[in-house]
């Protein structure tokens, strides 16, 4: 059973730089991809950053150059460093994992690929 628990959200000022964390249960899958999604008020859930088991990263245009996704394999924690936050970054941020298979780059930000989700952490930028 894969479990994901996000933390690090809260109220942040415009221009702030918080870091989100996603602690996950240990697994033995050699291939996987993990990602951060967000759902802003009135919008659909969107993939914003992903990292696969080989360390390859993918970013949505909206966060490119401002957000960085990393993974501490030893500690089983996924991070999202967010810089220069804007009001439009407000939303619920979800951690997701798709395990057991290699994923093509154009799929990494697609929600349908991920079969494990955290409960989310709210980020409010004002």
Burial of 124 (0-12, 13-18, 19+ CB in 10 A): middle
- The answer, yes or no, to whether residue 101 has pLDDT greater than 90, is no
Higher per-residue pLDDT: 105 or 89: 89
Distance of CA 43 to the CA centre of its chain: 17
pLDDT of amino acid 1: 83
Question: What SS3 state is found at 2?
Answer: coil
Q: 28-67 pLDDT, tens per residue?
A: 888 999 999 999 989 999 999 999 999 999 999 999 999 9
Q: 105-125 pLDDT, tens per residue?
A: 889 999 999 999 999 999 999
């Amino acid at each position: 059973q894969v479990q994901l628990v996000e933390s690090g959200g809260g109220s942040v000022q415009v221009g702030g730089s918080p870091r989100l964390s996603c602690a996950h249960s240990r697994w033995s899958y050699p291939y996987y991809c993990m990602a951060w999604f967000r759902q802003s008020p009135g919008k659909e859930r969107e993939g914003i950053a992903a990292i696969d088991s080989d360390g390859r990263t993918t970013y949505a245009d909206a966060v490119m150059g401002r957000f960085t996704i990393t993974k501490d394999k030893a500690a089983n924690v996924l991070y999202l460093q967010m810089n220069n936050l804007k009001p439009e970054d407000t939303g619920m941020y979800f951690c997701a994992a798709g395990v057991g298979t290699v994923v093509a780059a154009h799929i990494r930000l697609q929600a349908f690929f991920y079969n494990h989700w955290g409960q989310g952490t709210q980020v409010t930028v004002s």
